[in-house]
Chain A
Amino acid sequence: MYKKIHLHHLLESAARSYPDATALVDAERKVSYRELDAAADELYKQLKALSVGTTDRIAIYTNKSAEFVSAIFATLKTGAAYVPIDYSAPAERNLFIIENCDVKALIVHKKFQHLFIDSYTLISELPGELLLLKNNKTQLLPSPDDLAYILYTSGSTGKPKGVMYTHAAAMEFINWSSDTFLPTPNDCFSSHAPFHFDLSVFDLFVCIKHGAKLILINEEMARQPMLLAQLISEQKITIWYSTPTILNMLAAFGKMQKYSYEKLRLILFAGEVFYIHPFKILKQYWPAPDYYNLYGPTETNVCTYHKVADDLSVYTSTAFPIGKCCEHYSGKILNDTNDVTGELCIGGSGIMLGYWQAEEKNNAVFFKEGNILFYKTGDLVEKDEQDDLIFKGRADRMVKRNGYRIELAEIETLLHQNPEIISCAVLSSFDKNNAATTITAFVCCISEAGESVIGMKEYCMKHLPVYMIPDTFIFLKELPQTASNKTDLQQLKKRL
Protein backbone atom coordinates (compact mmCIF):
# COMPACT_ATOMS: atom_id res chain seq x y z
CA MET A 1 0.00 0.00 0.00
CA TYR A 2 1.38 3.42 -0.88
CA LYS A 3 1.47 6.31 1.52
CA LYS A 4 -1.45 8.72 1.42
CA ILE A 5 -0.42 12.14 0.13
CA HIS A 6 -0.95 15.10 2.42
CA LEU A 7 -0.80 18.72 1.32
CA HIS A 8 2.61 19.38 2.91
CA HIS A 9 4.10 16.39 1.06
CA LEU A 10 3.63 18.46 -2.11
CA LEU A 11 6.11 21.03 -0.81
CA GLU A 12 8.52 18.43 0.53
CA SER A 13 8.54 16.62 -2.78
CA ALA A 14 9.04 19.87 -4.77
CA ALA A 15 11.90 20.84 -2.43
CA ARG A 16 13.60 17.52 -3.26
CA SER A 17 12.99 17.74 -7.01
CA TYR A 18 13.53 21.47 -7.58
CA PRO A 19 15.47 22.78 -4.53
CA ASP A 20 16.87 25.86 -6.27
CA ALA A 21 13.82 26.81 -8.28
CA THR A 22 11.93 29.89 -7.11
CA ALA A 23 8.85 28.88 -5.15
CA LEU A 24 7.54 32.28 -4.11
CA VAL A 25 7.92 35.90 -5.03
CA ASP A 26 6.40 38.44 -2.62
CA ALA A 27 6.75 42.21 -2.34
CA GLU A 28 10.04 41.80 -0.50
CA ARG A 29 11.95 38.89 -1.99
CA LYS A 30 12.20 35.57 -3.79
CA VAL A 31 12.18 32.27 -1.90
CA SER A 32 13.44 28.98 -3.34
CA TYR A 33 11.76 25.63 -2.70
CA ARG A 34 14.65 24.62 -0.42
CA GLU A 35 14.33 27.84 1.60
CA LEU A 36 10.55 27.60 1.84
CA ASP A 37 10.61 24.03 3.10
CA ALA A 38 13.42 24.86 5.55
CA ALA A 39 11.48 27.87 6.91
CA ALA A 40 8.40 25.68 7.33
CA ASP A 41 10.49 23.03 9.13
CA GLU A 42 11.90 25.63 11.50
CA LEU A 43 8.44 26.77 12.56
CA TYR A 44 7.21 23.17 12.59
CA LYS A 45 9.77 22.37 15.31
CA GLN A 46 8.52 25.26 17.42
CA LEU A 47 4.92 24.11 17.02
CA LYS A 48 5.87 20.52 17.90
CA ALA A 49 7.57 21.81 21.05
CA LEU A 50 4.13 23.15 22.05
CA SER A 51 2.79 19.66 21.32
CA VAL A 52 0.64 20.87 18.44
CA GLY A 53 -0.74 17.81 16.64
CA THR A 54 -3.47 16.30 14.51
CA THR A 55 -6.35 17.27 16.78
CA ASP A 56 -5.46 21.01 16.82
CA ARG A 57 -6.13 24.15 14.81
CA ILE A 58 -3.65 27.00 14.25
CA ALA A 59 -4.89 30.42 13.11
CA ILE A 60 -2.65 32.49 10.83
CA TYR A 61 -3.38 36.19 11.01
CA THR A 62 -0.85 38.15 9.02
CA ASN A 63 -0.41 39.90 5.69
CA LYS A 64 0.05 37.93 2.49
CA SER A 65 3.73 37.09 2.38
CA ALA A 66 6.23 34.25 2.16
CA GLU A 67 5.89 34.02 5.96
CA PHE A 68 2.18 33.28 5.65
CA VAL A 69 2.93 30.42 3.26
CA SER A 70 5.60 28.88 5.48
CA ALA A 71 3.21 29.14 8.45
CA ILE A 72 0.60 27.20 6.46
CA PHE A 73 3.06 24.42 5.65
CA ALA A 74 4.52 24.34 9.18
CA THR A 75 0.99 23.87 10.52
CA LEU A 76 0.19 21.11 8.03
CA LYS A 77 3.46 19.32 8.86
CA THR A 78 2.34 19.01 12.50
CA GLY A 79 -0.91 17.39 11.35
CA ALA A 80 -2.92 20.37 12.62
CA ALA A 81 -5.36 22.33 10.45
CA TYR A 82 -4.65 25.92 9.41
CA VAL A 83 -7.28 28.64 9.76
CA PRO A 84 -6.38 31.62 7.55
CA ILE A 85 -7.68 34.93 8.90
CA ASP A 86 -8.70 37.92 6.77
CA TYR A 87 -5.92 40.44 7.43
CA SER A 88 -8.05 43.32 6.14
CA ALA A 89 -11.28 42.51 8.03
CA PRO A 90 -12.21 44.22 11.30
CA ALA A 91 -10.52 42.75 14.38
CA GLU A 92 -13.83 42.00 16.07
CA ARG A 93 -14.92 39.64 13.29
CA ASN A 94 -11.53 37.96 13.24
CA LEU A 95 -11.55 37.48 17.00
CA PHE A 96 -14.90 35.75 16.70
CA ILE A 97 -13.44 33.33 14.15
CA ILE A 98 -10.32 32.62 16.21
CA GLU A 99 -12.47 32.02 19.29
CA ASN A 100 -15.03 29.96 17.36
CA CYS A 101 -12.55 27.49 15.93
CA ASP A 102 -10.85 27.09 19.30
CA VAL A 103 -7.21 27.35 18.22
CA LYS A 104 -4.33 26.02 20.23
CA ALA A 105 -1.88 28.60 18.93
CA LEU A 106 -1.81 31.63 16.72
CA ILE A 107 0.73 33.04 14.28
CA VAL A 108 -0.07 36.73 14.20
CA HIS A 109 1.34 39.92 12.72
CA LYS A 110 3.05 42.07 15.35
CA LYS A 111 0.61 44.91 14.81
CA PHE A 112 -2.23 42.78 16.21
CA GLN A 113 -0.38 41.68 19.38
CA HIS A 114 -2.50 43.94 21.63
CA LEU A 115 -5.64 41.94 20.75
CA PHE A 116 -4.29 38.79 22.33
CA ILE A 117 -2.46 39.96 25.45
CA ASP A 118 -5.04 38.61 27.90
CA SER A 119 -5.64 35.09 26.67
CA TYR A 120 -2.41 34.14 24.90
CA THR A 121 1.24 33.74 25.92
CA LEU A 122 4.08 34.91 23.70
CA ILE A 123 6.25 31.95 22.74
CA SER A 124 8.61 33.42 20.18
CA GLU A 125 9.23 36.24 17.74
CA LEU A 126 9.35 35.20 14.10
CA PRO A 127 10.60 37.60 11.39
CA GLY A 128 7.42 39.70 11.15
CA GLU A 129 5.05 37.67 13.26
CA LEU A 130 4.61 36.36 16.76
CA LEU A 131 3.86 32.82 17.82
CA LEU A 132 1.27 32.89 20.59
CA LEU A 133 -0.01 29.98 22.64
CA LYS A 134 -3.52 30.02 24.04
CA ASN A 135 -3.56 30.05 27.83
CA ASN A 136 -4.91 26.62 28.52
CA LYS A 137 -7.90 26.90 30.75
CA THR A 138 -10.19 24.34 29.22
CA GLN A 139 -9.82 21.24 27.07
CA LEU A 140 -9.67 22.19 23.39
CA LEU A 141 -12.19 20.61 21.02
CA PRO A 142 -10.62 17.85 18.89
CA SER A 143 -10.47 18.20 15.10
CA PRO A 144 -11.99 15.43 13.01
CA ASP A 145 -9.49 13.08 11.28
CA ASP A 146 -7.36 14.34 8.41
CA LEU A 147 -8.51 17.97 8.75
CA ALA A 148 -6.31 20.30 6.66
CA TYR A 149 -7.95 23.73 6.84
CA ILE A 150 -11.05 25.65 7.85
CA LEU A 151 -12.22 28.56 5.69
CA TYR A 152 -14.80 30.94 7.17
CA THR A 153 -17.58 32.40 5.02
CA SER A 154 -20.53 34.68 5.70
CA GLY A 155 -23.30 33.01 7.73
CA SER A 156 -27.03 33.64 7.55
CA THR A 157 -27.32 33.60 11.36
CA GLY A 158 -25.22 36.76 11.47
CA LYS A 159 -21.90 35.09 12.28
CA PRO A 160 -19.32 33.58 9.93
CA LYS A 161 -19.26 29.78 9.63
CA GLY A 162 -16.24 27.50 9.18
CA VAL A 163 -16.03 25.16 6.17
CA MET A 164 -13.84 22.15 7.06
CA TYR A 165 -11.67 20.48 4.44
CA THR A 166 -9.63 17.29 4.75
CA HIS A 167 -6.30 16.60 3.04
CA ALA A 168 -7.95 13.81 1.04
CA ALA A 169 -10.76 16.03 -0.28
CA ALA A 170 -8.39 18.90 -1.11
CA MET A 171 -6.11 16.46 -2.98
CA GLU A 172 -9.03 15.39 -5.17
CA PHE A 173 -9.41 18.96 -6.38
CA ILE A 174 -5.65 19.47 -6.76
CA ASN A 175 -5.28 16.31 -8.82
CA TRP A 176 -8.27 17.23 -10.96
CA SER A 177 -6.62 20.63 -11.60
CA SER A 178 -3.37 18.91 -12.64
CA ASP A 179 -5.21 16.68 -15.10
CA THR A 180 -7.25 19.53 -16.54
CA PHE A 181 -4.72 22.39 -16.81
CA LEU A 182 -1.44 20.45 -17.17
CA PRO A 183 0.86 22.80 -15.24
CA THR A 184 4.64 22.43 -15.56
CA PRO A 185 7.63 23.61 -13.50
CA ASN A 186 8.01 26.43 -16.05
CA ASP A 187 4.65 27.92 -15.17
CA CYS A 188 4.31 31.07 -13.14
CA PHE A 189 1.06 31.19 -11.11
CA SER A 190 -0.63 34.28 -9.74
CA SER A 191 -1.77 34.16 -6.15
CA HIS A 192 -4.35 36.91 -6.24
CA ALA A 193 -7.01 35.67 -3.80
CA PRO A 194 -6.29 36.04 -0.07
CA PHE A 195 -5.59 32.78 1.74
CA HIS A 196 -8.96 32.78 3.55
CA PHE A 197 -10.67 32.62 0.14
CA ASP A 198 -10.96 29.16 -1.46
CA LEU A 199 -9.44 30.25 -4.78
CA SER A 200 -6.12 30.25 -2.89
CA VAL A 201 -6.20 26.45 -2.58
CA PHE A 202 -5.59 26.20 -6.31
CA ASP A 203 -2.88 28.88 -6.39
CA LEU A 204 -0.91 27.48 -3.48
CA PHE A 205 -1.10 23.74 -3.76
CA VAL A 206 -1.39 23.19 -7.51
CA CYS A 207 1.54 25.52 -8.11
CA ILE A 208 3.72 23.90 -5.45
CA LYS A 209 2.78 20.38 -6.52
CA HIS A 210 4.32 21.11 -9.92
CA GLY A 211 7.37 23.00 -8.66
CA ALA A 212 6.21 26.16 -10.43
CA LYS A 213 6.65 29.78 -9.33
CA LEU A 214 3.97 31.56 -7.28
CA ILE A 215 3.63 35.36 -7.34
CA LEU A 216 2.06 36.49 -4.06
CA ILE A 217 -0.10 39.57 -4.53
CA ASN A 218 -0.63 41.41 -1.26
CA GLU A 219 -3.74 43.12 0.05
CA GLU A 220 -2.91 46.62 -1.22
CA MET A 221 -1.95 45.53 -4.70
CA ALA A 222 -4.82 43.07 -5.16
CA ARG A 223 -7.44 45.78 -5.83
CA GLN A 224 -5.23 48.14 -7.81
CA PRO A 225 -5.58 47.25 -11.50
CA MET A 226 -2.76 49.47 -12.78
CA LEU A 227 -0.27 47.70 -10.54
CA LEU A 228 -1.73 44.29 -11.43
CA ALA A 229 -1.35 44.83 -15.18
CA GLN A 230 2.26 45.85 -14.65
CA LEU A 231 2.92 42.85 -12.40
CA ILE A 232 1.41 40.28 -14.79
CA SER A 233 3.63 41.61 -17.55
CA GLU A 234 6.85 42.04 -15.55
CA GLN A 235 6.66 38.73 -13.69
CA LYS A 236 5.69 36.91 -16.90
CA ILE A 237 2.75 35.23 -15.22
CA THR A 238 1.46 32.24 -17.23
CA ILE A 239 -1.57 31.18 -15.15
CA TRP A 240 -3.90 33.80 -13.73
CA TYR A 241 -6.82 32.97 -11.40
CA SER A 242 -9.20 35.54 -9.95
CA THR A 243 -12.80 36.66 -9.82
CA PRO A 244 -14.42 38.32 -12.86
CA THR A 245 -14.61 41.58 -10.85
CA ILE A 246 -10.83 41.80 -10.86
CA LEU A 247 -10.59 40.93 -14.56
CA ASN A 248 -13.18 43.59 -15.34
CA MET A 249 -11.23 46.12 -13.29
CA LEU A 250 -8.07 45.21 -15.18
CA ALA A 251 -9.77 45.69 -18.54
CA ALA A 252 -11.48 48.94 -17.54
CA PHE A 253 -8.82 50.66 -15.44
CA GLY A 254 -5.54 48.75 -15.76
CA LYS A 255 -4.07 50.76 -18.66
CA MET A 256 -3.47 47.35 -20.17
CA GLN A 257 -2.18 48.69 -23.50
CA LYS A 258 1.02 49.82 -21.80
CA TYR A 259 2.36 46.30 -21.41
CA SER A 260 2.80 43.01 -23.25
CA TYR A 261 1.69 39.61 -22.00
CA GLU A 262 3.29 36.97 -24.25
CA LYS A 263 3.63 34.35 -21.53
CA LEU A 264 0.04 34.37 -20.33
CA ARG A 265 -1.45 31.01 -21.36
CA LEU A 266 -4.34 30.31 -19.03
CA ILE A 267 -6.95 32.54 -17.37
CA LEU A 268 -9.24 30.96 -14.80
CA PHE A 269 -12.12 32.83 -13.25
CA ALA A 270 -14.55 31.84 -10.52
CA GLY A 271 -16.62 33.13 -7.65
CA GLU A 272 -19.30 34.97 -9.60
CA VAL A 273 -20.96 35.28 -12.98
CA PHE A 274 -18.83 36.65 -15.84
CA TYR A 275 -20.95 38.41 -18.45
CA ILE A 276 -19.93 38.05 -22.06
CA HIS A 277 -20.04 41.75 -22.89
CA PRO A 278 -17.31 42.86 -20.41
CA PHE A 279 -15.39 39.67 -21.22
CA LYS A 280 -15.03 40.85 -24.82
CA ILE A 281 -13.22 43.96 -23.63
CA LEU A 282 -10.76 41.80 -21.67
CA LYS A 283 -10.20 39.52 -24.64
CA GLN A 284 -9.14 42.45 -26.80
CA TYR A 285 -6.14 42.89 -24.54
CA TRP A 286 -5.48 39.21 -23.99
CA PRO A 287 -6.53 37.35 -27.16
CA ALA A 288 -4.18 34.37 -26.83
CA PRO A 289 -4.80 32.54 -23.52
CA ASP A 290 -7.32 29.79 -22.87
CA TYR A 291 -10.12 30.90 -20.59
CA TYR A 292 -12.06 28.72 -18.17
CA ASN A 293 -15.14 29.55 -16.13
CA LEU A 294 -14.86 27.59 -12.87
CA TYR A 295 -17.83 27.25 -10.56
CA GLY A 296 -18.20 25.97 -7.03
CA PRO A 297 -19.01 27.14 -3.50
CA THR A 298 -16.33 26.92 -0.80
CA GLU A 299 -18.07 23.72 0.36
CA THR A 300 -17.10 21.84 -2.83
CA ASN A 301 -14.33 24.02 -4.25
CA VAL A 302 -14.53 23.88 -8.06
CA CYS A 303 -17.25 21.42 -9.06
CA THR A 304 -18.21 22.43 -12.60
CA TYR A 305 -16.16 24.04 -15.37
CA HIS A 306 -16.54 25.42 -18.84
CA LYS A 307 -13.84 26.19 -21.37
CA VAL A 308 -14.68 29.46 -23.10
CA ALA A 309 -15.06 28.97 -26.85
CA ASP A 310 -12.72 30.92 -29.13
CA ASP A 311 -15.67 32.10 -31.16
CA LEU A 312 -17.85 34.08 -28.76
CA SER A 313 -20.75 34.19 -31.21
CA VAL A 314 -21.69 30.64 -30.17
CA TYR A 315 -23.06 32.09 -26.91
CA THR A 316 -26.66 33.16 -27.17
CA SER A 317 -27.04 34.03 -23.47
CA THR A 318 -25.55 37.05 -21.70
CA ALA A 319 -23.31 35.04 -19.37
CA PHE A 320 -21.06 31.99 -19.73
CA PRO A 321 -22.51 28.64 -18.69
CA ILE A 322 -20.92 27.06 -15.61
CA GLY A 323 -20.48 24.00 -17.78
CA LYS A 324 -20.16 20.36 -16.84
CA CYS A 325 -19.41 18.57 -13.64
CA CYS A 326 -15.71 18.05 -12.85
CA GLU A 327 -14.59 14.47 -13.45
CA HIS A 328 -14.18 13.73 -9.73
CA TYR A 329 -17.75 14.79 -8.94
CA SER A 330 -21.28 13.86 -9.85
CA GLY A 331 -24.02 16.44 -10.08
CA LYS A 332 -27.77 16.25 -9.53
CA ILE A 333 -30.49 18.81 -10.03
CA LEU A 334 -33.19 18.70 -7.37
CA ASN A 335 -36.41 20.16 -8.70
CA ASP A 336 -40.11 20.18 -8.08
CA THR A 337 -42.10 18.12 -10.56
CA ASN A 338 -41.97 19.75 -13.99
CA ASP A 339 -39.72 22.68 -13.29
CA VAL A 340 -36.54 22.66 -15.40
CA THR A 341 -34.77 24.86 -12.87
CA GLY A 342 -33.60 23.19 -9.71
CA GLU A 343 -31.03 23.22 -6.94
CA LEU A 344 -27.59 21.92 -7.89
CA CYS A 345 -26.29 19.16 -5.61
CA ILE A 346 -22.72 17.93 -5.81
CA GLY A 347 -21.62 14.47 -4.72
CA GLY A 348 -18.21 12.86 -4.28
CA SER A 349 -15.30 12.62 -1.92
CA GLY A 350 -13.99 16.07 -2.83
CA ILE A 351 -16.67 17.93 -0.85
CA MET A 352 -16.20 19.53 2.55
CA LEU A 353 -16.30 17.49 5.70
CA GLY A 354 -18.94 19.82 7.13
CA TYR A 355 -19.24 23.10 9.01
CA TRP A 356 -17.17 23.38 12.15
CA GLN A 357 -19.30 22.74 15.24
CA ALA A 358 -22.63 23.04 13.45
CA GLU A 359 -24.37 19.68 13.59
CA GLU A 360 -27.80 21.03 12.68
CA LYS A 361 -26.56 22.98 9.68
CA ASN A 362 -24.64 19.92 8.47
CA ASN A 363 -27.75 17.76 8.63
CA ALA A 364 -29.54 20.31 6.47
CA VAL A 365 -26.98 20.56 3.66
CA PHE A 366 -25.91 16.94 3.13
CA PHE A 367 -27.80 13.90 1.87
CA LYS A 368 -26.68 10.44 0.88
CA GLU A 369 -27.58 8.55 -2.25
CA GLY A 370 -26.17 5.06 -2.41
CA ASN A 371 -22.63 5.46 -1.18
CA ILE A 372 -22.25 9.02 -2.38
CA LEU A 373 -22.53 12.02 -0.09
CA PHE A 374 -24.10 15.05 -1.75
CA TYR A 375 -23.92 18.73 -0.79
CA LYS A 376 -26.87 21.02 -1.57
CA THR A 377 -25.34 24.18 -3.02
CA GLY A 378 -28.40 26.43 -2.75
CA ASP A 379 -27.63 27.57 -6.30
CA LEU A 380 -30.38 27.23 -8.89
CA VAL A 381 -29.36 25.85 -12.27
CA GLU A 382 -30.78 24.43 -15.46
CA LYS A 383 -29.31 22.70 -18.51
CA ASP A 384 -29.00 24.20 -21.99
CA GLU A 385 -29.09 22.32 -25.31
CA GLN A 386 -25.41 21.39 -25.07
CA ASP A 387 -26.10 19.84 -21.68
CA ASP A 388 -24.12 22.63 -20.04
CA LEU A 389 -25.30 23.90 -16.66
CA ILE A 390 -26.54 27.48 -16.54
CA PHE A 391 -26.53 29.41 -13.26
CA LYS A 392 -29.98 30.87 -12.54
CA GLY A 393 -29.61 32.51 -9.14
CA ARG A 394 -29.93 31.67 -5.46
CA ALA A 395 -32.62 29.90 -3.49
CA ASP A 396 -31.97 32.17 -0.48
CA ARG A 397 -30.76 35.65 0.45
CA MET A 398 -27.08 35.15 -0.27
CA VAL A 399 -25.45 37.51 -2.78
CA LYS A 400 -21.96 37.70 -4.17
CA ARG A 401 -19.59 40.57 -4.60
CA ASN A 402 -16.12 40.06 -6.06
CA GLY A 403 -16.67 36.36 -5.45
CA TYR A 404 -17.27 36.84 -1.73
CA ARG A 405 -20.43 35.40 -0.29
CA ILE A 406 -22.53 37.88 1.56
CA GLU A 407 -25.52 36.84 3.64
CA LEU A 408 -27.73 39.94 3.73
CA ALA A 409 -28.93 38.74 7.14
CA GLU A 410 -25.40 39.07 8.50
CA ILE A 411 -25.41 42.78 7.57
CA GLU A 412 -28.88 43.24 9.12
CA THR A 413 -27.75 41.57 12.34
CA LEU A 414 -24.82 43.96 12.54
CA LEU A 415 -26.92 47.05 11.82
CA HIS A 416 -29.39 46.05 14.50
CA GLN A 417 -26.55 46.23 17.03
CA ASN A 418 -26.11 49.94 16.30
CA PRO A 419 -27.92 51.82 19.12
CA GLU A 420 -29.06 54.51 16.65
CA ILE A 421 -31.01 52.01 14.57
CA ILE A 422 -34.53 50.87 15.42
CA SER A 423 -35.10 48.63 12.43
CA CYS A 424 -33.56 47.89 9.06
CA ALA A 425 -33.70 45.73 5.96
CA VAL A 426 -30.86 45.04 3.56
CA LEU A 427 -31.54 44.30 -0.11
CA SER A 428 -29.42 43.78 -3.16
CA SER A 429 -29.87 44.56 -6.81
CA PHE A 430 -27.85 43.56 -9.82
CA ASP A 431 -26.94 45.75 -12.74
CA LYS A 432 -26.17 43.56 -15.75
CA ASN A 433 -24.59 46.35 -17.78
CA ASN A 434 -21.95 47.05 -15.21
CA ALA A 435 -21.99 43.49 -13.81
CA ALA A 436 -22.23 45.06 -10.37
CA THR A 437 -24.11 43.98 -7.25
CA THR A 438 -25.42 46.94 -5.28
CA ILE A 439 -26.35 46.54 -1.62
CA THR A 440 -28.90 48.94 -0.19
CA ALA A 441 -29.75 49.30 3.49
CA PHE A 442 -33.14 50.73 4.47
CA VAL A 443 -32.72 52.09 7.96
CA CYS A 444 -35.02 53.62 10.61
CA CYS A 445 -33.12 55.62 13.20
CA ILE A 446 -34.17 56.73 16.69
CA SER A 447 -33.51 60.35 15.82
CA GLU A 448 -32.66 62.41 12.78
CA ALA A 449 -29.15 62.90 14.14
CA GLY A 450 -28.42 59.25 13.42
CA GLU A 451 -29.34 59.59 9.76
CA SER A 452 -25.83 60.07 8.43
CA VAL A 453 -24.59 58.03 5.46
CA ILE A 454 -21.00 58.67 6.42
CA GLY A 455 -21.70 57.71 10.03
CA MET A 456 -23.35 54.46 8.89
CA LYS A 457 -20.46 53.61 6.58
CA GLU A 458 -17.92 54.29 9.33
CA TYR A 459 -19.88 52.04 11.68
CA CYS A 460 -19.94 49.22 9.09
CA MET A 461 -16.24 49.71 8.36
CA LYS A 462 -15.52 48.96 12.03
CA HIS A 463 -17.44 45.70 12.06
CA LEU A 464 -17.64 44.26 8.53
CA PRO A 465 -15.21 43.43 5.74
CA VAL A 466 -15.24 46.13 3.04
CA TYR A 467 -17.07 43.95 0.53
CA MET A 468 -20.06 43.68 2.90
CA ILE A 469 -20.60 47.41 3.45
CA PRO A 470 -23.87 48.63 1.88
CA ASP A 471 -23.38 51.03 -1.04
CA THR A 472 -26.45 53.06 -0.26
CA PHE A 473 -28.30 53.90 2.95
CA ILE A 474 -31.88 55.05 2.64
CA PHE A 475 -33.37 56.51 5.81
CA LEU A 476 -37.05 55.86 6.43
CA LYS A 477 -39.38 56.80 9.26
CA GLU A 478 -40.67 53.25 9.29
CA LEU A 479 -40.24 50.08 7.23
CA PRO A 480 -43.29 48.98 5.19
CA GLN A 481 -44.96 45.86 6.61
CA THR A 482 -46.85 42.96 5.12
CA ALA A 483 -50.25 41.86 6.41
CA SER A 484 -48.49 39.39 8.69
CA ASN A 485 -46.35 42.15 10.21
CA LYS A 486 -43.13 41.21 8.52
CA THR A 487 -40.93 43.70 6.70
CA ASP A 488 -42.38 44.03 3.21
CA LEU A 489 -39.27 43.27 1.15
CA GLN A 490 -41.23 43.37 -2.12
CA GLN A 491 -42.34 46.92 -1.36
CA LEU A 492 -38.75 47.94 -0.61
CA LYS A 493 -37.49 46.25 -3.76
CA LYS A 494 -39.50 48.70 -5.84
CA ARG A 495 -37.41 51.51 -4.39
CA LEU A 496 -34.06 50.08 -5.51
Chain B
Amino acid sequence: MEQKISEIKNNVRGFISQNYLQTIKAGELNDSTPLISGGIIDSIATMKLVNWLEKNYNFEFAAHEVDRDNLDTIERIANFVVTKTSV
Protein backbone atom coordinates (compact mmCIF):
# COMPACT_ATOMS: atom_id res chain seq x y z
CA MET B 1 0.00 0.00 0.00
CA GLU B 2 2.73 2.44 1.04
CA GLN B 3 4.54 1.64 -2.15
CA LYS B 4 1.43 2.20 -4.22
CA ILE B 5 0.79 5.60 -2.58
CA SER B 6 4.32 6.81 -3.17
CA GLU B 7 4.18 5.63 -6.77
CA ILE B 8 0.95 7.56 -7.36
CA LYS B 9 2.46 10.66 -5.71
CA ASN B 10 5.48 10.55 -8.00
CA ASN B 11 3.36 10.09 -11.10
CA VAL B 12 1.12 13.00 -10.17
CA ARG B 13 4.13 15.15 -9.32
CA GLY B 14 5.57 14.36 -12.73
CA PHE B 15 2.31 15.22 -14.50
CA ILE B 16 1.91 18.57 -12.75
CA SER B 17 5.58 19.58 -13.05
CA GLN B 18 5.69 18.73 -16.72
CA ASN B 19 2.47 20.46 -17.65
CA TYR B 20 2.17 23.42 -15.31
CA LEU B 21 5.53 24.15 -13.73
CA GLN B 22 8.02 23.82 -16.57
CA THR B 23 10.55 26.12 -14.93
CA ILE B 24 10.38 24.45 -11.50
CA LYS B 25 13.52 23.52 -9.55
CA ALA B 26 13.91 19.92 -8.44
CA GLY B 27 12.30 19.16 -5.07
CA GLU B 28 10.14 22.30 -5.01
CA LEU B 29 6.80 20.56 -5.40
CA ASN B 30 6.17 18.52 -2.27
CA ASP B 31 3.25 16.40 -1.10
CA SER B 32 1.56 19.24 0.74
CA THR B 33 2.12 22.14 -1.72
CA PRO B 34 -1.34 23.67 -2.27
CA LEU B 35 -2.15 23.17 -5.94
CA ILE B 36 -5.55 24.82 -6.44
CA SER B 37 -5.49 27.23 -3.50
CA GLY B 38 -1.85 28.06 -4.30
CA GLY B 39 -2.67 29.16 -7.85
CA ILE B 40 -0.59 26.38 -9.45
CA ILE B 41 -3.45 24.73 -11.32
CA ASP B 42 -6.52 26.61 -12.52
CA SER B 43 -9.90 25.05 -13.22
CA ILE B 44 -9.02 23.84 -16.72
CA ALA B 45 -5.77 22.32 -15.47
CA THR B 46 -7.73 20.69 -12.66
CA MET B 47 -10.08 19.06 -15.17
CA LYS B 48 -7.12 17.87 -17.25
CA LEU B 49 -5.67 16.33 -14.11
CA VAL B 50 -9.02 14.64 -13.41
CA ASN B 51 -9.10 13.23 -16.94
CA TRP B 52 -5.55 11.98 -16.62
CA LEU B 53 -6.21 10.34 -13.26
CA GLU B 54 -9.34 8.63 -14.59
CA LYS B 55 -7.47 7.21 -17.58
CA ASN B 56 -4.33 6.25 -15.71
CA TYR B 57 -5.95 4.61 -12.72
CA ASN B 58 -9.10 3.41 -14.39
CA PHE B 59 -11.83 4.84 -12.18
CA GLU B 60 -14.42 7.56 -12.49
CA PHE B 61 -14.91 10.76 -10.52
CA ALA B 62 -18.49 11.48 -9.48
CA ALA B 63 -19.37 15.11 -10.28
CA HIS B 64 -19.23 16.22 -6.63
CA GLU B 65 -15.85 14.58 -6.03
CA VAL B 66 -13.98 17.11 -8.18
CA ASP B 67 -13.10 19.49 -5.36
CA ARG B 68 -10.27 20.80 -3.21
CA ASP B 69 -10.83 18.17 -0.52
CA ASN B 70 -9.70 15.52 -2.98
CA LEU B 71 -7.36 17.48 -5.25
CA ASP B 72 -5.61 20.38 -3.52
CA THR B 73 -2.37 18.54 -2.69
CA ILE B 74 -0.47 15.56 -4.05
CA GLU B 75 -1.08 13.86 -0.70
CA ARG B 76 -4.87 14.21 -1.02
CA ILE B 77 -4.87 13.13 -4.66
CA ALA B 78 -2.94 9.96 -3.87
CA ASN B 79 -5.24 9.11 -0.96
CA PHE B 80 -8.30 9.70 -3.07
CA VAL B 81 -7.03 7.54 -5.92
CA VAL B 82 -6.28 4.73 -3.46
CA THR B 83 -9.77 4.95 -1.93
CA LYS B 84 -11.42 4.91 -5.34
CA THR B 85 -9.38 2.04 -6.76
CA SER B 86 -9.26 -0.27 -3.75
CA VAL B 87 -13.00 -0.99 -3.68
Contact = CB atoms under 8 A, between A and B. Distances in A.
B51 A461 contact: no
Interface in B16-58: 20-25, 28-29, 33, 37-40, 42-44, 47-48, 50-51
A50 interface: no
B24 A453 contact: yes
Chain B contact patch, size range? 20 to 34
Contacts of A451: 25
Interface string B49-77: 01100000000010110110000000000
A249 B42 contact: no
A399 to B, nearest CB: 15
Interface in A216-257: 220, 223-227, 229-230, 245, 249, 252-253, 255
Given A225-B47, A473-B23, A457 B63 contact: no
A469 B39 contact: yes
Interface in A240-293: 245, 249, 252-253, 255
A92 interface: no
Interface residues of A, number: 30
Contacts of A224: 43, 63, 66-67
Contact of B28 (A452, A466, A469): A452
Contacts of B50: 253
A366 interface: no
Contacts of A227: 63-64, 66
Interface string A454-496: 1001101100001101011111000000000000000000000
Question: Closest 9 CB pairs between A and B?
Answer: A223-B43, A461-B39, A226-B63, A253-B47, A457-B39, A469-B39, A227-B63, A453-B24, A453-B21
Given A223-B43, A224-B63, A458-B39, 6 more contacts: A249-B43, A249-B44, A253-B51, A454-B21, A454-B28, A457-B39
25 contacts: A226-B61, A227-B63, A230-B63, A249-B44, A249-B47, A253-B47, A253-B48, A253-B50, A452-B28, A453-B25, A454-B24, A454-B28, A454-B33, A454-B38, A454-B40, A457-B39, A458-B38, A460-B39, A461-B39, A466-B39, A466-B42, A467-B42, A469-B39, A472-B23, A474-B23
Interface of A: 220, 223-227, 229-230, 245, 249, 252-253, 255, 436, 451-454, 457-458, 460-461, 466-467, 469, 471-475
Interface of B: 20-25, 28-29, 33, 37-40, 42-44, 47-48, 50-51, 61, 63-64, 66-67
